[in-house]
Structures are given as C-alpha cells and as structure tokens.
Amino acid sequence: MIVAEGLEKRFGERVAVAGLSLDVRAGEVFGLLGPNGAGKTTTVRMLTALIAPTAGRATVAGCRIGEDDDGVRQRVGVLTETPGLYARLTAAENLRFFGKLHGVDDLEARIGRYLALLGLGDRKDDKAGSFSKGMRQK
C-alpha cells in the first residue's frame, strides 16, 4: 500500500515534484508514467526512502516516510534498468551485502531460497560480472 499526500521535492529553486497525491491499495497494479524530467525517478526515490521529500507526507507498506525509513527499506525494493551489483562479488555475496545493509532477517536462508526461486541457485558462487543483464536484474 502506498499513500502520498502533497508530496513535493525541490532541489534549490527547481521543483522536481509538486503536490503529488496518490493512493495505491494492496494488490493493485500502478504505473508511474511521464516524459523525461517529469519527476518519476525522484518520486520513486522519495517513496523508497532514498531521499527525503521537501514537503508532504507518504506511507509505504505501513511505514511513514521520514519516521520509519528503515522499515520502508526493509519492505520495498527497486529494480533499476542497470542494477547496482558489485561485479567482483558473487551472487550470494551481493545479496548478503545488501541484505545486511537493509537489516534483512534470516538472511542466509533467504539468500538460498531466493536464488533457487529465480533459477540462480547453481550460480550463487559465480561473480555477478559474469551474468547476463537479465540475470543481474533477477
């Protein structure tokens, strides 16, 4: 669930997002569309607690942005077109690093479970730099 009311982000004098309000319920599919420079990436960064809004408020997965940012980051992930994996680390090492960074519980069991679920269990010890783009996005 995502609820935003009057969300705004300014970079100096430049307004990147102005007065965004939305309500996305559990189970709904939502697309954020717009031209270059419309504020899509900035909005996603605010809703994933990577940057703080200048004004407004938002709740994501029951966690209030600005008050429980760690809770947001534990519950929400973002896949960009170019995933930020460390090429010299293995698949398991990348997951371990980012899992610890975000305070993921039961990390080792989750690493094994998700690599298997994604069909990468047999590649857990391979360096991420050897993976195809599709494998890195998984």
Evaluate whether residue 84 is within a structural domain: no
**Residues 102, 59 share a domain:** no
Evaluate whether residue 71 is within a structural domain: yes
- How many structural domains compose the chain? 2
**Residues 68, 95 share a domain:** no
Domain that holds residue 67: 2-75
**Residues 106, 69 share a domain:** no
This prediction has a pTM of 0.64
Evaluate whether residue 65 is within a structural domain: yes
Evaluate whether residue 86 is within a structural domain: no
Q: Please answer whether residues 108 and 89 qualify as being in contact, where contact means their C-beta atoms are separated by less than 8 angstroms.
A: no
As a whole number, mean pLDDT of residues 58-86 equals 86
**Residues 97, 66 share a domain:** no
Residue 81's pLDDT band, with cuts at 50, 70 and 90, is low
**Residues 95, 63 share a domain:** no
**Residues 132, 68 share a domain:** no
- Which tops the pLDDT comparison, 17 or 77? 17
- 58: CATH: 3.40.50.300
Residue 80 has pLDDT above 70, yes or no: no
Check residue 136 and give left, alpha or beta (phi > 0: left; psi -120 to 50: alpha): alpha
pLDDT digits (tens, 9 = 90+) for 2-24: 999 999 999 999 999 999 999 99
